């Protein structure tokens, strides 16, 4: 590829709406262009990076025994009605009608379509296991599309679905995909971590997210400094040390205190001159339509995923103002556990039984109570782990110190069980001729998000620093010949030589000033740059630069092929990659 004929319109300035570095650089380097909110065109350089990610993912899927198919983007509503997700999925599902008025959606994921595809075709245990995947554009009408390719509305995903005859087989398929993901992300050159993830109402411990470690990540990971425990914050267990329960300690009688206009924990604590840890926070939620109260210490955060899982619910949301008023008899900010509507079950964080004599909301306007005893004054449905883990907590697996890091979710593996085969009646005959439901797993990789995360993880002030495996081109040959045709001819000869060696090379044969060419090569982030000038040609050398380390050296022109391959090996090694 010759840059003189290439379509890669660069920008001098960061686009105003771009908040994260990958979005800025992808735009500035002319790799993507926005069509409309969350929807992008891939230009030649961007598409090459995207295709390289897809190729590695495809290879590792095939190696793991999965088979590629391609399913449609447009999906009929009837399938989604079978699983109940037509109602449940919400506004992320883009719905529309055809000319006959039938309902359709753009596929945000393909559990329904794949289950429909195999039901009736997989009839016997002898046909199992099967793993089918595709690399295909998804559409999700995200509430806040942002960060360019990181959270688009239309984006490229690899989604795989496994079918097994029993739970044991499904577990094997799960770990098979888990290993394939590790191989794929390692081969791409990403620094990543698999972390325990919430598997929602389906239950079980079988869900992991693969996180690319980067400051700009939207997710927070709690990981142990000593063992390999790592979990998404919403999933991380908190171990409350076993001490004696103090709920039934004798304390003075419950007493109202006036707290005019003091709604928040901070306001109440300041007003009463107490520490937040002496308060009980009462949070009112609606879980699948029913009101629920949850209690945490004043200095803690409630983890609503834990609450939802404890109750076995699907959908959880804060109760609105009117509901709070109805259940507590007070405006928002004064809820307490002692005189709530008796139909509201109260769940308390495990830690709350280790202290007593609490301050809490009074269930009256501008009122709190003191001397609250959870044993004497309330009916607690259950004490359980309900709070968010904090960085000062200890590892739930080994008890050592933990740390928080930011991550970008690039993959998700999920053991589904029979959720979809049951609702869609996907059965087979087992060894004994008995009908059984297919045991399923689903496995996603954000192919386009990986391009963005690779840049989030690897960039500097000058631009992208692509791993050699997914760079649009692995090498840029930059000719500084200008009017000196001998230099230009030699640069083109070396470029052709690289092509014949099977190296993905680009030739910067444009008439621009050297400074412009260097800046653009850095901006695009070619991992290897070769620069030929008049002086080099005369001395029989070409300058080479490793974009990652910034190291520069020279390669001899007379033994160019061998010298290049050796240098290339070194560059790959700097990425911890094998050629």
Burial of 524 (0-12, 13-18, 19+ CB in 10 A): buried
Q: Are 112 and 82 in contact (CB under 8 A)?
A: yes
Report in angstroms how near the CB of residue 114 gets to ligand ATP at its nearest: 14
Report in angstroms how near the CB of residue 108 gets to ligand ATP at its nearest: 8
Nearer to ligand ATP, 151 or 517 (CB): 151
Shortest-Cβ-distance residue relative to ligand ATP: 446
Stretch that binds ligand ATP, among 75-83, 442-450, 465-473, 516-524 (CB under 6 A): 442-450
Tell me how far apart the alpha carbons of residues 194 and 230 are, in angstroms, rounded to a whole number: 7
| Under rule CB under 6 A, residue 413 binds ligand ATP | no
Report in angstroms how near the CB of residue 536 gets to ligand ATP at its nearest: 43
Helices then strands, counting H and E runs in the chain, come out as: 16, 31
Report in angstroms how near the CB of residue 447 gets to ligand ATP at its nearest: 8
Tell me how far apart the alpha carbons of residues 239 and 225 are, in angstroms, rounded to a whole number: 16
Candidates 519, 530, 525; CA nearest to 554 is 530
Report in angstroms how near the CB of residue 479 gets to ligand ATP at its nearest: 38
Nearer to ligand ATP, 36 or 485 (CB): 36
**Residue from 151, 235, 262, 517 that binds ligand ATP (CB under 6 A)?**
151
**Residue from 155, 161, 185, 383 that binds ligand ATP (CB under 6 A)?**
155
| Under rule CB under 6 A, residue 60 binds ligand ATP | no
| Under rule CB under 6 A, residue 412 binds ligand ATP | yes
Tell me how far apart the alpha carbons of residues 64 and 84 are, in angstroms, rounded to a whole number: 32
- Greatest distance between any 2 Cα atoms in the chain: 96
Tell me how far apart the alpha carbons of residues 6 and 470 are, in angstroms, rounded to a whole number: 19
Nearer to ligand ATP, 109 or 328 (CB): 109
Report in angstroms how near the CB of residue 488 gets to ligand ATP at its nearest: 42
Tell me how far apart the alpha carbons of residues 46 and 65 are, in angstroms, rounded to a whole number: 29
DSSP state of 12: S
Tell me how far apart the alpha carbons of residues 383 and 360 are, in angstroms, rounded to a whole number: 17
Helices (H), 346-395: 374-377
Stretch that binds ligand ATP, among 18-26, 198-206, 379-387, 445-453 (CB under 6 A): 445-453
**Residue from 107, 129, 148, 152 that binds ligand ATP (CB under 6 A)?**
152
Report in angstroms how near the CB of residue 448 gets to ligand ATP at its nearest: 6
Nearer to ligand ATP, 263 or 412 (CB): 412
Candidates 359, 319, 314; CA nearest to 337 is 359
**Residue from 148, 189, 407, 446 that binds ligand ATP (CB under 6 A)?**
446
**Residue from 449, 459, 545, 547 that binds ligand ATP (CB under 6 A)?**
449
| Under rule CB under 6 A, residue 420 binds ligand ATP | no
Total residues binding ligand ATP (CB under 6 A): 15
Stretch that binds ligand ATP, among 298-306, 314-322, 351-359, 404-412 (CB under 6 A): 404-412
Residue 541, both tokens: 């050398």
Residues 6 or more apart whose CB falls under 8 angstroms from that of 550 comprise: none
Report in angstroms how near the CB of residue 142 gets to ligand ATP at its nearest: 5
Q: Are 474 and 527 in contact (CB under 8 A)?
A: yes
**Residue from 107, 337, 411, 472 that binds ligand ATP (CB under 6 A)?**
411
Q: Are 22 and 453 in contact (CB under 8 A)?
A: yes
Report in angstroms how near the CB of residue 444 gets to ligand ATP at its nearest: 3
Q: Angle, to 10 degrees, between the axis of helix 560-574 and the axis of helix 485-500?
A: 70
Tell me how far apart the alpha carbons of residues 497 and 261 are, in angstroms, rounded to a whole number: 77
Report in angstroms how near the CB of residue 314 gets to ligand ATP at its nearest: 16
Q: Are 386 and 302 in contact (CB under 8 A)?
A: yes
| Under rule CB under 6 A, residue 415 binds ligand ATP | no
Report in angstroms how near the CB of residue 229 gets to ligand ATP at its nearest: 21
Report in angstroms how near the CB of residue 409 gets to ligand ATP at its nearest: 4
- CA torsion angle for 190, 60, 173, 158 (degrees, to 10)? 70
Stretch that binds ligand ATP, among 301-309, 440-448, 456-464, 560-568 (CB under 6 A): 440-448
DSSP state of 279: B
Tell me how far apart the alpha carbons of residues 396 and 350 are, in angstroms, rounded to a whole number: 14
Tell me how far apart the alpha carbons of residues 303 and 388 are, in angstroms, rounded to a whole number: 5
Q: What x-and-dash track marks residues 504-543 binding ligand ATP by CB under 6 A?
A: ----------------------------------------
Report in angstroms how near the CB of residue 281 gets to ligand ATP at its nearest: 26
Task: Label the pairing between strands 39-42 and 67-68.
Answer: unpaired
Residue 246, both tokens: 């103090």
Stretch that binds ligand ATP, among 22-30, 180-188, 407-415, 540-548 (CB under 6 A): 407-415
Q: What x-and-dash track marks residues 92-131 binding ligand ATP by CB under 6 A?
A: -----------------x----------------------
Stretch that binds ligand ATP, among 151-159, 263-271, 384-392, 541-549 (CB under 6 A): 151-159
Tell me how far apart the alpha carbons of residues 139 and 567 are, in angstroms, rounded to a whole number: 42
Residue 248, both tokens: 């039934």
| Under rule CB under 6 A, residue 157 binds ligand ATP | yes
| Under rule CB under 6 A, residue 456 binds ligand ATP | no
Report in angstroms how near the CB of residue 48 gets to ligand ATP at its nearest: 19
Residues 129-148 that bind ligand ATP (CB under 6 A): 140, 142
Helix/strand/coil for 571: helix
Reported in sequence order, the residue ranges of 431-525 that DSSP labels E, i.e. its strands, are 435-437, 439-446, 459-460, 463-464, 475-479, 505-508
Residues 6 or more apart whose CB falls under 8 angstroms from that of 494 comprise: 477, 530, 532, 542, 557, 560
Other beta carbons within 10 angstroms of residue 294's beta carbon come to 27
**Residue from 302, 410, 455, 507 that binds ligand ATP (CB under 6 A)?**
410
Positions that interact with ligand ATP (CB under 6 A): 109, 140, 142, 151-152, 155, 157, 409-412, 444, 446, 448-449
């Amino acid at each position: 590829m010759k840059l003189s004929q290439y379509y890669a319109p660069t920008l001098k300035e960061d686009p105003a709406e771009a908040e994260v570095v990958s979005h800025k650089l992808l735009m500035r380097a002319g790799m993507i262009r926005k069509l409309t909110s969350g929807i992008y065109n891939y230009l030649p350089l961007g598409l090459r990076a995207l295709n390289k990610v897809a190729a590695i993912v495809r290879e590792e899927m095939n190696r793991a025994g999965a088979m590629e198919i391609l399913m449609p983007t447009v999906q009929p509503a009837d399938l989604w009605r079978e699983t109940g997700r037509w109602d449940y999925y919400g506004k992320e599902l883009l719905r529309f009608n055809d000319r006959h008025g039938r309902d359709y959606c753009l596929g945000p994921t393909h559990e329904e379509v794949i289950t429909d595809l195999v039901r009736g075709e997989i009839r016997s245990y002898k046909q199992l296991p099967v793993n089918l995947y595709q690399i295909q554009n998804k559409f999700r009408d995200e509430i806040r599309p942002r960060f360019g390719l990181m959270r688009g509305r239309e984006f490229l995903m690899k989604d795989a679905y496994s079918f097994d005859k029993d739970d044991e087989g499904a577990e094997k398929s799960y770990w098979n995909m888990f290993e394939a993901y590790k191989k794929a992300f390692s081969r791409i050159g990403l620094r990543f971590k698999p972390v325990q993830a919430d598997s929602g109402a389906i239950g079980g411990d079988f869900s992991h997210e693969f996180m690319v470690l980067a400051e700009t990540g939207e997710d927070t990971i709690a990981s142990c400094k000593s063992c390999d425990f790592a979990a998404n914050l919403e999933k991380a267990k908190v171990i409350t040390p076993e001490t004696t329960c103090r709920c039934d300690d004798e304390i003075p009688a419950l007493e109202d205190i006036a707290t005019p206009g003091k709604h928040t924990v901070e306001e109440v604590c300041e007003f009463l001159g107490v520490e937040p840890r002496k308060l009980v926070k009462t949070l009112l939620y609606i879980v699948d339509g029913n009101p629920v109260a949850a209690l945490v210490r004043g200095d803690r955060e409630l983890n609503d995923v834990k609450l939802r899982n404890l109750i076995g619910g699907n959908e959880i949301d804060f109760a609105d103002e009117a509901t709070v008023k109805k259940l507590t008899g007070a405006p928002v900010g004064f809820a307490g556990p002692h005189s709530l509507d008796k139909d509201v079950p109260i769940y308390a964080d495990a830690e709350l039984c280790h202290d007593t004599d609490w301050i809490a909301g009074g269930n009256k306007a501008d009122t709190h109570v003191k001397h609250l005893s959870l044993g004497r004054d309330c009916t607690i449905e259950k004490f359980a782990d309900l709070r968010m883990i904090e960085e000062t907590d200890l590892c739930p697996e080994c008890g050592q110190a933990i740390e928080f890091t930011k991550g970008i979710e690039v993959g998700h593996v999920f053991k589904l069980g029979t959720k979809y085969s049951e609702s869609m009646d996907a059965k087979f005959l087992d060894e004994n001729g008995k009908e059984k439901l297919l045991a399923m797993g689903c496995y996603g990789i954000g192919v386009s998000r990986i391009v963005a995360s690779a840049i989030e993880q690897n960039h500097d002030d000058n631009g992208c620093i692509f791993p050699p495996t997914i760079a649009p081109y692995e090498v840029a040959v930059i000719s500084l010949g200008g009017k000196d045709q001998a230099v230009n001819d030699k640069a083109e000869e070396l470029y052709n030589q690289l092509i014949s060696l099977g190296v993905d090379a680009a030739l910067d044969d444009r008439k621009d000033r050297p400074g412009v060419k260097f800046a653009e090569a850095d901006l695009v982030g070619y991992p290897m740059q070769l620069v030929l000038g008049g002086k080099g040609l005369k001395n029989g050398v070409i300058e080479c630069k490793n974009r990652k380390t910034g190291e520069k050296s020279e390669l001899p022109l007379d033994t160019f092929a061998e010298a290049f391959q050796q240098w290339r090996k070194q560059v790959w090694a700097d990425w911890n990659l094998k050629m």
